[in-house]
Amino acid sequence: MSRQKLQTAAPDAESGGSADRKNVMAETLRRRIVSMELAPGAVVDELALSEEFGLSRPPVRELMRQMAAEGYLELEPNRPARVSPMGYQSLRSFFLAAPLIYVATTQLAASHATAEEVERLKAIQAQFRTAIEENDLQARVLQNDAFHFEIGRIARNAYLMPSLRRVLIDHARLGKIFYRSPETSDMQQDLETAVRQHDEIIEAIAQRDAQRAGELVRSHMELSRRRMAEYVIPEGLDVPIQF
């Protein structure tokens, strides 16, 4: 009987190990995409991922289909998987939809948040503030993503969560593009404003002030919209012309 138990336990252990590797691959691939380590439109090599994470091809394909459904990847018949692109139309769609989704989730969070959930937001915010102070671009992007994702969790709405997940992918990638480093005083000021707005959003959620929370997160989104406009349409160089 002991031998039979060993024989039946072995597949379970192997299955568990495969599941762990699959979870590691999922988190790694998501992080590479939102941090722009994998650029928009980049090919994602199924065989390379299979070898890197010690998985057979079927679970890798299954994960890639899941990530395509979430918005991280783009799959087309007879073509390699690619990271979701970021073109003009996708950016326009993002800035039209993102404020609606952020306002809705943040207002719902203000209606539902427990004291423990508020403390979790504060812990994430502390890491975001540290990333700003240390000028750690990657940590800044990931902690901002974590902050808004946690608000989505607190909102407890199964219909909004998929939309929030999709918005956060491009929000993180935009943050990596537009805030590469605080090279100017106004950019540094924007980052300090973002920290302050996060603090105020947490306070509004803790006080169950849904209207205030919604107003704050809408203003928070305006920072990204304005920064994108300045990036796409910069001021012309003032070069004197001599005759």
> What pLDDT digit, counting tens, does each position of 201-232 carry?
999 999 999 999 999 999 999 887 887 777 66
Q: 44 with 78: CB under 8 angstroms?
A: no
139-163 b/e with 16+ CB inside 10 Å = b?
bbbbbbbbbbbbbbbbbebeebbeb
Cα 240 to Cα 63, 233, 235, 236, 237: the distances in Å are 56, 21, 15, 12, 9
Strands 73-74 and 43-44: unpaired
**Residue 180 covered by a domain:** yes
pLDDT at residue 150 tops 90? yes
**CATH number of the domain where residue 130 is located:** 1.20.120.530
Q: Hey, what amino acid is at 91?
A: L
Which of these three, 33, 61, 83, is where a domain ends? 83
Sheet holding 81-83, edge to edge: 43-44, 81-83, 73-74
Same domain, 117 and 155: yes
181 Cβ contact list (under 8 Å, min separation 6): 135, 137
Q: Can you give the residue range of the structural domain that contains 180? A: 88-232
Cα 105 to Cα 33, 35, 74, 172, 188: the distances in Å are 24, 23, 26, 17, 27
Give the pTM. Answer: 0.82
**Residue 207 covered by a domain:** yes
Q: How many domains does the chain have?
A: 2
**Residue 34 covered by a domain:** yes
**Residue 238 covered by a domain:** no
The pLDDT tens digits of the residues spanning 158-167 come to: 999 999 999 9
Q: 93 with 53: CB under 8 angstroms?
A: no
Using pLDDT thresholds of 50, 70 and 90, give the confidence band for residue 8.
very low
Q: Hey, what amino acid is at 195?
A: V
Q: 167 with 72: CB under 8 angstroms?
A: no
**pLDDT, the chain, mean:** 87
Which of these three, 41, 58, 83, is where a domain ends? 83
